[in-house]
Amino acid sequence: MLKIENLFAGYGKVQVLHGVSMEVPTGMLVTLIGSNGAGKTTTLRALSGMIKPESGSITLGGVEIGGLPSHAIARKGLAHSPEARRIFPTQSVFDNLLLGAFPRLTGARPKGDVQGDISKMFEIFPRLAERRAQLAGTLSGGEQQMLAMARALMLQPEVLLLDEPSMGLSPKLVEEVFVVIARLKSEKVTMLLVEQFAAAALEVADFGYVMENGRLTASGTAASLKVDPAVRAAYLGSAH
């Protein structure tokens, strides 16, 4: 569904990604793990058009999307739940969800049942239902993370990009987030999950890539990466 070939990207003169190639097949949950500063977030930002790739190809369902502005990419069906959540603080939880469906409400994507999907989000994330009329800026960190994921899902995306959904959350909330990710996987939502919390990510994913200094250094099924000695030593904290 999502295919990246030889992607180079960065910020101004600082090049971060040095030729990244990876693939997210339809219905699969692919995870991208690596240490802080490896270029995982930059990869997602280049995919969703938040930064312009310098070169390389990104195709979504066979259509080239590399270098398009982010709003055009979203309208083609790529949803991005960004790092640090980036919810709209002065709008209600409900309105944040509506905005997630903006392309559907304005004719850029098939409309479907927007109200029904909001109800579904409230079923998946019951805390959001309780707070539907509350301003999003008043939510706790965990609730904001739930909202960011729900908002991205409201696009009814072809592919969902999740950037560090566990960041800054308590262990209990991290567990909740991963339960939701597992549920979305069982519903065949195509996802690319970026995580520093590699053990949990590999537990839930079908396939994984490991990134170091802007290059992919390993890839394979999540099960094989979990037992790979190098991956274990570097990211799973169990060298012995």
Nearer to another protein among residue 98 and residue 204 (C-beta): 98
Pick the stretch among 25-33, 66-74, 181-189, 222-230 that binds another protein (CB under 8 A): 66-74
Nearer to another protein among residue 87 and residue 225 (C-beta): 87
Tell me how far apart the alpha carbons of residues 153 and 131 are, in angstroms, rounded to a whole number: 18
What is the total residue count of the chain? 240
Tell me how far apart the alpha carbons of residues 63 and 82 are, in angstroms, rounded to a whole number: 23
Phi, then psi, of 24 in degrees rounded to 5? -120, 100
Phi, then psi, of 127 in degrees rounded to 5? -60, -35
Both structure tokens of 3: 């295919």
The b-or-e profile of 167-195 (16+ CB within 10 A means b, else e) is: bebeeebbebbbebbeebbeeebbbbbbb
Tell me how far apart the alpha carbons of residues 211 and 44 are, in angstroms, rounded to a whole number: 13
- Asked if 100 is part of the footprint of another protein (rule: CB under 8 A), the reply reads yes
- Asked if 95 is part of the footprint of another protein (rule: CB under 8 A), the reply reads yes
Choose which of 2, 155, 160, 210 interacts with another protein (CB under 8 A): 155
Contact 77, 2 (CB under 8 A): no
- Asked if 105 is part of the footprint of another protein (rule: CB under 8 A), the reply reads yes
The site map against another protein for 170-209 (x = CB under 8 A) is ----------------------------------------
- Asked if 82 is part of the footprint of another protein (rule: CB under 8 A), the reply reads yes
Choose which of 19, 27, 89, 112 interacts with another protein (CB under 8 A): 89
Choose which of 34, 39, 49, 66 interacts with another protein (CB under 8 A): 49
- Asked if 41 is part of the footprint of another protein (rule: CB under 8 A), the reply reads no
Both structure tokens of 5: 């070939």
Pick the stretch among 1-9, 100-108, 182-190, 195-203 that binds another protein (CB under 8 A): 100-108
Choose which of 5, 57, 59, 102 interacts with another protein (CB under 8 A): 102
Choose which of 46, 98, 191, 211 interacts with another protein (CB under 8 A): 98
- Neighbouring-strand partners of residue 162: 81, 193
# of chain residues touching another protein (CB under 8 A) = 30
- Asked if 34 is part of the footprint of another protein (rule: CB under 8 A), the reply reads no
Tell me how far apart the alpha carbons of residues 181 and 54 are, in angstroms, rounded to a whole number: 31
Contact 54, 8 (CB under 8 A): yes
Residues contributing to the site for another protein (CB under 8 A): 48-50, 69-71, 74-75, 79-80, 82, 86-91, 95, 98-100, 102-103, 105-106, 108-109, 151-152, 155
